[in-house]
Amino acid sequence: CWGYGEDDGPSSWHKGYPIAQGNRQSPINIVPSETVHDSSLSPLIVSYEHCTSIGISNNGCSVAVEYADTEQGPGIYRGPLSDAYRLKQFHFHWGHKDWHGSEHTVDGKTYTSELHLVHWNASKYQTFREAVAAPDGLAVLGVFLETGEEHQSLHKITDALSMVKFKGSNADLKDFNPKCLLPKSLNYWTYSGSLTTPPLHESVTWIVFEEPIEVSKKQMEKFRMLLFSEEEEDEKLMENNFRPPQPLKGRKVCASYN
């Protein structure tokens, strides 16, 4: 199947998923000076109060924290969104070293890692599976991580990583409220894009925050001990699980006011 290696990596995904060469692929390089300041863009509302995190799992391409799918679940609305979107999971992308690892770039700058909070349009669709392929089906919040001070809440995630070292492993992670992983400023860029891994559906309204959060080098090292491989397989370190920026193909990127 697909991966991030020499033979199965992003440059060969188009063979199994022709949409890889589509007109609204993600990630992209964001050029702030070329963004459109859309004054009609209202602040994004993030309401993560009722947060029933179910657990943390290694799905073989990243580490993800899953949320229960309930009516009053955590979600986001307003901003560029016309409907309410419900949080399904969040996961990360990172590199072999601190100088790279993010998927989106800003004026060509790469960050150490990128957190994706994946939401689906529960106002319009019955299930995530239905929404994942619909043009207005998903909304993903992107948060850049850069190395600096230790993040006071990320330890709840990094402390659990040793329990999900292998592909297919999962562990309990109760009541983790991801609001603590958002930057102080909710200034964002937004554009129409896609999943950044196969099946690469063009179903995502991307909302990428300008301000990165700080995590320590030690916290990043814990991500790099995860494995792409299963328990009995040859060990393959989980790192460089990011897709490089894709052609903008005439899309405009809007900037919010906050």
> Binding residues for ligand N7M, per CB under 6 A?
116, 118, 132, 140, 195-197
Q: Do β-strands 188-193 and 254-255 pair in parallel, antiparallel, or remain unpaired?
A: antiparallel
173 binds, among ligand N7M, Zn ion, none (CB under 5 to 8 A by kind): none
- Helix boundaries (H) for 93-243: 128-131, 155-158, 217-223
Q: In the set 116, 119, 156, 243, which binds Zn ion (CB under 5 A)?
A: 116
Residue range at the interface with Zn ion (CB under 5 A); choices 23-31, 109-117, 169-177, 239-247: 109-117
- 173 in helix, strand or coil? coil
φ, ψ for residue 217, nearest 5 deg: -60, -40
End-to-end CA distance of the chain: 42
Residue range at the interface with Zn ion (CB under 5 A); choices 108-116, 160-168, 186-194, 233-241: 108-116
180, two tokens: 């603590």
CB of 42 to Zn ion, least distance (A): 25
118 binds, among ligand N7M, Zn ion, none (CB under 5 to 8 A by kind): ligand N7M
Residue for token pair 């990011």? 242
Residue for token pair 């992107």? 142
Of 132 and 186, CB closest to ligand N7M: 132
Of 195 and 238, CB closest to ligand N7M: 195
φ, ψ for residue 11, nearest 5 deg: -75, -15
Q: Does 243 bind Zn ion (CB under 5 A)?
A: no
- How many CB atoms lie under 10 A from the CB of residue 1? 7
CB of 86 to ligand N7M, least distance (A): 13
Residue range at the interface with Zn ion (CB under 5 A); choices 110-118, 141-149, 215-223, 243-251: 110-118
> What does the binding site for Zn ion look like in residue numbers (CB under 5 A)?
116
